[in-house]
């Protein structure tokens, strides 16, 4: 599949649509998922145009995983999460719905189910409040 420059994350990267930002560097951007599967659900994307994990360069993959680890640490600390799920979907058959490669960082607690994938929009004020906690925990 060819990369679509009008996918929603490409538009976020260009600043055409807003997001609740957590972190940005030269190669990556992290922000809150608007349809979170748990409180504190964050996304990390590369700036490189790649529709999935397979299309990403080794340098892009290295930058993406380094930022994912950094943000996962901050989500764990900021959200007081006993567990963290890191997920990455490739292809519609795997459940991918936005075709710009990304990692999901999802807080988990034993016995607590996480919500369905990409289903319900969260209130902006709640996303902002969780983002503040995560940003404060960034090292
Ligand atoms: P995936 O299905 O793995 O491609 O995940 C896409 C995720 O992106 C899903 O959890 C919902 C989220 N999402 C969809 N549209 C937007 C948006 O406009 N802004 C933000 N922040 N997240 C979005």
What residue spans define the domains of the chain? 8-137
CA 80 to ligand 1 centroid distance, Å: 23
Q: Say what percent of the chain tops pLDDT 70.
A: 100
- Ligand 1 neighbourhood includes 134 CB (under 6 angstroms): no
CA geometry: angle at 60 spanning 43 and 30, to 5°?
20
pLDDT digit string, tens, across residues 84-111: 999 999 999 999 999 999 999 999 998 8
Summary mean pLDDT of the chain: 96
Q: Is 113 exposed, middle or buried (0-12, 13-18, 19+ CB in 10 A)?
A: exposed
- Ligand 1 neighbourhood includes 96 CB (under 6 angstroms): yes
* Helix and strand numbers, DSSP H then E, in the chain: 3, 5
- Ligand 1 neighbourhood includes 34 CB (under 6 angstroms): yes
In this structure, CATH architecture of domain 8-137 = 2-Layer Sandwich (3.30)
Residue with the nearest Cα to atom 3 of ligand 1?
96
More confident residue, 73 or 2: 73
- Ligand 1 neighbourhood includes 8 CB (under 6 angstroms): yes
Active site residues: 102
């Amino acid at each position: 599949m060819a990369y679509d420059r009008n996918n929603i994350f490409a538009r976020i990267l260009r600043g055409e649509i807003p997001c609740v930002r957590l972190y940005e560097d030269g190669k990556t951007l992290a922000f809150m998922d608007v349809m979170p599967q748990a409180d504190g659900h964050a996304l990390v994307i590369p700036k490189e145009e790649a529709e999935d994990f397979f299309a990403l360069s080794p340098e892009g993959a290295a930058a993406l995983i380094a930022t994912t680890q950094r943000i996962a640490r901050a989500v764990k600390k900021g959200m007081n999460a006993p567990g963290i799920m890191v997920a990455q979907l490739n292809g519609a058959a795997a459940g991918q719905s936005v075709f710009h490669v990304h990692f999901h960082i999802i807080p988990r607690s034993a016995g607590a189910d996480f919500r369905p994938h990409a289903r319900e929009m969260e209130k902006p004020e709640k996303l902002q409040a969780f983002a503040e906690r995560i940003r404060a925990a960034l090292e």
